[in-house]
Amino acid sequence: MIWIDTLVQGILLGGLYALFAAGLSLVFGIMRLVNLAHGDLIVFAAYLILVGVQVLGLSPWVSALVAMPLMFGFGWLLQTVVLNRVLGKDILPPLLVTFGLSVTLQNGLLEGFSADSQRIPAGTLEGASLDLGLVTVGVMPLLTFVSAVAAILALNWVFYHTPLGRSFRATSDDPVAAGLMGIEPKRIFAIATGIAMVVVTLAALYLGMRANFDPSIGPARLIYAFEAVIIGGLGSLWGTLAGGIIVGVAQTLGAAVNPEWQILAGHIAFLAVMLLKPRGLFPRAVD
Amino acid sequence: MYRLTTRTRAGTATAVAILILVVVGVMLPAFASRSMIQDLFFILTMLTLAQLWNLLAGYGGLVSVGQQAFVGIGAYAMFAGVILLGWDPVWAIPLGGLAAFLLAVPTAFFAFRLQGAYFAIGTWVIAEVTRLLVAQWKALGGGTGTSLPREATRNIIGTDAIQALFGVRDAAARDILAYWLALVLVVLATAGIYWLLRSRLGLALAAVRDNVDAAQSVGVDAGKLKWAVFLIAAAATGLTGALIFMQTARISPDAAFAVTDWTAYVIFIVVIGGIGTIEGPILGVLVFYMLRSVLADYGSWYLMTLGVLAIVIMLFAPTGLWGLISTRSGLHLFPVRRRLTGAKIEGEN
Amino acid sequence: MLLETHALTASYGQFRALFGVDIAVAAGECVAVIGANGAGKSTLMRSVTGVIRNQPGMVLHRGEPIGALTSAEIMKRGIAMVPEGRRLFPSLTVEENLLIGGQARKAPGPWNIDTVYDLFPILRERRKSPGTALSGGQQQMVAIGRGLMSNPELLLCDEISLGLAPVVIRDIYAALPKIRASGAAIVLVEQDIGKALSVADRVYCMMEGRVTLTAKAAEVSRQEIHAAYFGEAA
């Protein structure tokens, strides 16, 4: 019985990781961009939401809703002004630029908000739980998981059933041919990063409500997110959810054996998948 | 008569200048203050790490974000040698190189299955795994870390002689010893890389960097080459890590496996100076140190500046500061390019 | 003139591919550009469609300089391209491949998904297949249909018969008169001289990055073409 409980908790934790990873997966799938600042962008969005709550007195949900268009604009600008200039065959320039961005964001937040731990108040939801008969689950983890599934459903709908999604896929396949169709690849990339930042804001809301955060925790979230993306396979959003769940379950199983092994178990699951399937479980695009 | 040579006038001048610099460097502890020696130690060790990362990424095309694994394992192996085996710290440093080498073998086996971005993330995850595993090593302090025992640090080989020679105290003598070792390491690493690039291996590396398939077709074994570069860089990074933590005499998993200190900074140094050149990291480490000195009192502003600088350089001068200088002046202090010399060659410009 | 190039030059690094090319295409006209492999035909197409950027004045659309515009900007002006090698999007179905051709530019005209399916009925049956699952000839039909979806003033066709069986080439060429009848001008880049001359009003022959012959298709002799194509008297 305890194992079923652990498994369920792991799957729900996987939802959080999938949420961290969904935006990364979108951007990675469309433009092969490795954004090493992704984790720090989640933390940045969490502070943005926190400001809305503390300074403007908004509820966390409303604050996140306000933050989303701001983050979209930020992502759009970031892609247009910085990242579009370094995209190319060589992966080194984008890697280095986003690494620089990561360090800049971390220390900017440190300067603005100090190293103190913060939390977005979630009110009555914080400790609430739901008895599902076989297991009892926290309302917050459940909500996170449902949000992750909803976010992936929405992204998939955009990706496969709208003209914008068509442009995403076409640009991902062949940016030059997409240009000949009147699609400006750089504009498409900017929109994609903007959308990724909206998902990042949603991830930040749950990150901030579920646990304490401070400016330094971004890189660890980035690693979990990347593990989810890579396990799932390039360009597959459902694969990313599966990847998140694998990391989440491995972590909770590890923690059940020895609390110190939680993170380690997640990484080892990742390494094991990479050893068996270097391109992930459900690769969509051929790279 | 034509002759294939890499020698240039600037290259010869550099050799002389470096010889003088090394001699001055060796004698420096006679006049320099202890804080200056410590600063130089920092510069030299960071330069070594930067040259090694440059070898990996700039010449070998292996963009690793996990070099902290080798710094950390090297440092911990040195501590293990001292604490568990009772070795002198100086003799335990090679143990650090060996441990890093041994870690690099399975790392390469795993990471070489991954391409590009996956490789970068894969190496980072391996470094994290190593950190978490080392944090389980209770004999070396687990997650909180440990210090070198006082008996071990007080009797490090050679410190007595240094104390007598310069009339300094025990701790200062240890700094001088570490500084000398750092000097040896940086000269060996730079000279080694330089030699490597001028050898047939360097030619093969350049071929692989330009076009893997073409290089394979003329008989260059790209796979073996990657292995060689990765293992060499890892072992030398391990030695450097061991030396760095011999000087601090205190270790913890978070410090020894810090991605910021041992990879981010190192990458910034290489990028700012100029990737794919030997001059670049040297220039980069000087800029890095100057920024650190100027902005030291402003805490996180320093790192922000560094991050922004790296972004700006990548956007507007992707070949780095040295790239700007050498394209303007045609200067190559460490010539690795082969040129034909002899009678005037038809069509040469 | 619908489209003109003026002393158009282009290089790939050190290698110069075009040395001052002048061509002109009038509205509704069908022009063939022929030449051997490496003559510069495809480079000319890449320059006209902004895949290679030029000096603004080297390419004119209705007298306005477009040489420095992006591919997307040029396409939105009504110059559509059927690229060499077809370059369908593997992640898109046949229908999506067609739809994306008319997505960025919405101009009134005869072409829409239904009229394209009428032009190439086989595509209607395969509409749900991934574009790259089709035969070469069918893929070429998708590429042409995709180009038509934006109702372009000018359709540039780069090597549409390359690598296809003669019977398939015949089917594809059979569609060209219908496309002309709809009002679009066509530039046909071809190595197959006979095919090109059978539908074109005028012909340019290129060799080594230069235009070596400009003539009316009905009047040109085999000897003239041979000389311009191979650079020697027949």
Nearest CA in chain A to B309: A100
- Does B335 fall in a domain? no
> Chain A contacts of C80, Cβ < 8 Å?
180
C137/B125 Cα distance (integer angstroms): 48
- Does B83 fall in a domain? yes
**Between chain B and chain C, are at least 3 CB pairs below 8 A?**
no
Looking at CA atoms only, how far is residue B161 from chain A in angstroms?
43
> Chain B contacts of A102, Cβ < 8 Å?
264, 307
Half-sphere exposure of A103 (CA within 13 A, CB side): 27
Neighbours of chain B (3+ CB pairs under 8 A): A
Looking at CA atoms only, how far is residue C79 from chain A in angstroms?
9
Q: What is the pTM of this model?
A: 0.89
pLDDT band at B23 (very low <50, low <70, confident <90, very high): confident
- Candidates A173, A180, A186, A187: best to mutate against C (most CBs of C within 10 A) is A180
Looking at CA atoms only, how far is residue C226 from chain A in angstroms?
33
In this structure, are residues C58 and C67 in contact, taking their beta carbons and an 8 Å threshold?
yes
> How do strand B146-147 and strand B2-5 relate by DSSP bridges?
unpaired
* C233 or C228, higher pLDDT: C228
The CA distances from residue C135 to C82, C88, C117, C161, C176, in Å, are: 17, 12, 17, 13, 20
Half-sphere exposure of B201 (CA within 13 A, CB side): 17
Q: Which domain holds residue B222?
A: 24-258
- Does B220 fall in a domain? yes
- Candidates B132, B137, B144: best to mutate against A (most CBs of A within 10 A) is B132
Nearest CA in chain A to C85: A177
**Burial classification of residue B167, based on how many CB atoms lie within 10 Å of its CB (0-12 exposed, 13-18 middle, 19 or more buried):** exposed
Per residue of chain A (287 residues), what is the pLDDT tens digit? 678 889 999 999 999 999 999 999 999 889 888 889 999 999 999 999 999 999 999 999 999 999 999 999 999 999 999 999 998 878 788 888 998 999 999 999 999 999 999 999 988 877 788 888 778 888 999 999 999 999 999 999 999 999 999 999 999 999 999 999 999 999 999 999 999 999 999 999 999 999 999 999 999 999 999 999 999 988 789 999 999 999 999 999 999 999 889 999 999 999 999 888 888 888 765 54
Residue B151 pLDDT: 81
What ipTM did this prediction achieve? 0.92
Number of domains in chain B: 1
> Chain A contacts of C89, Cβ < 8 Å?
169-170, 173-174, 177-178
The mean pLDDT of B235-251, rounded to a whole number, is: 95
Chain A contact present for B317, CB below 8 A: no
Closest of B290, C154, B199 to residue A180, by C-alpha = C154
Locate C210 and state its tokens: 């230069």
Tell me which residues of chain C have a C-beta less than 8 Å from any C-beta of chain A: 49-51, 70-72, 75-76, 80-81, 83, 87, 89-92, 96, 99-101, 103-105, 146, 150
> Chain C contacts of A176, Cβ < 8 Å?
51, 71, 87
Chain B contact present for A41, CB below 8 A: no
Residue C230: CB atoms within 10 A of its CB come to 13
Residue C233 pLDDT: 54
Which of C51, C76, C103 shows the shortest C-beta gap to A166?
C103
Look at C103 and A184 and tell me if their CB atoms are within 8 Å. no
> Chain A contacts of C92, Cβ < 8 Å?
166, 169-170, 173
In this structure, are residues C2 and C185 in contact, taking their beta carbons and an 8 Å threshold?
yes
Q: What is the pLDDT of residues C206-218, one digit of tens each?
A: 999 999 989 898 8
Domain A2-116+131-276 has CATH 1.10.287: no
Look at A173 and C75 and tell me if their CB atoms are within 8 Å. no
Q: How far is CA C60 from the centre of its chain?
A: 17
Residue type, A211: A
- Domain C3-230 architecture: 3-Layer(aba) Sandwich (3.40)
Neighbours of chain C (3+ CB pairs under 8 A): A
**Between chain B and chain A, are at least 3 CB pairs below 8 A?**
yes
Look at B271 and A82 and tell me if their CB atoms are within 8 Å. no
Look at A170 and C100 and tell me if their CB atoms are within 8 Å. yes
Q: How big is the CA angle at A134 (ends A129 and A138), to the nearest 5 degrees? A: 15
Tell me which residues of chain A have a C-beta less than 8 Å from any C-beta of chain C: 163, 166-167, 169-170, 172-174, 176-184, 284-285
> Chain A contacts of B121, Cβ < 8 Å?
34, 223, 226-227, 230
Residue C107 pLDDT: 86
B287/B306 Cα distance (integer angstroms): 10
Residue B167 pLDDT: 79
Is residue C8 helix, strand or coil? strand
> Chain A contacts of B291, Cβ < 8 Å?
none
> Chain C contacts of A184, Cβ < 8 Å?
70, 72
Residue B207: CB atoms within 10 A of its CB come to 18
Is residue C210 helix, strand or coil? strand
Q: How big is the CA angle at C178 (ends C174 and C183), to the nearest 5 degrees? A: 145
pLDDT band at B341 (very low <50, low <70, confident <90, very high): low
> Chain A contacts of B264, Cβ < 8 Å?
99, 102-103
Residue C59 pLDDT: 94
- Does B11 fall in a domain? no
Who's near C161: CB < 8 A, 6+ residues apart?
C169, C172, C173, C190, C191, C192, C195
> Chain A contacts of B323, Cβ < 8 Å?
none
Who's near B184: CB < 8 A, 6+ residues apart?
none
| Beta pairing partners, C189 | C33, C158
Looking at CA atoms only, how far is residue A29 from chain C in angstroms?
12
Look at A101 and B128 and tell me if their CB atoms are within 8 Å. no
Nearest CA in chain A to C48: A180
Who's near C85: CB < 8 A, 6+ residues apart?
C159, C162
pLDDT band at B243 (very low <50, low <70, confident <90, very high): very high
> Chain B contacts of A99, Cβ < 8 Å?
65, 264, 267, 310
- Does B276 fall in a domain? no
Look at A181 and C92 and tell me if their CB atoms are within 8 Å. no
- DSSP letter for each residue of A4-47: HHHHHHHHHHHHHHHHHHHHHHHHHHHH----TTHHHHHHHHHH
Torsion of Cα atoms, C107 then C113 then C118 then C124, to 10°: 160
Looking at CA atoms only, how far is residue B200 from chain A in angstroms?
25
The mean pLDDT of C143-162, rounded to a whole number, is: 94
> Chain A contacts of C113, Cβ < 8 Å?
none
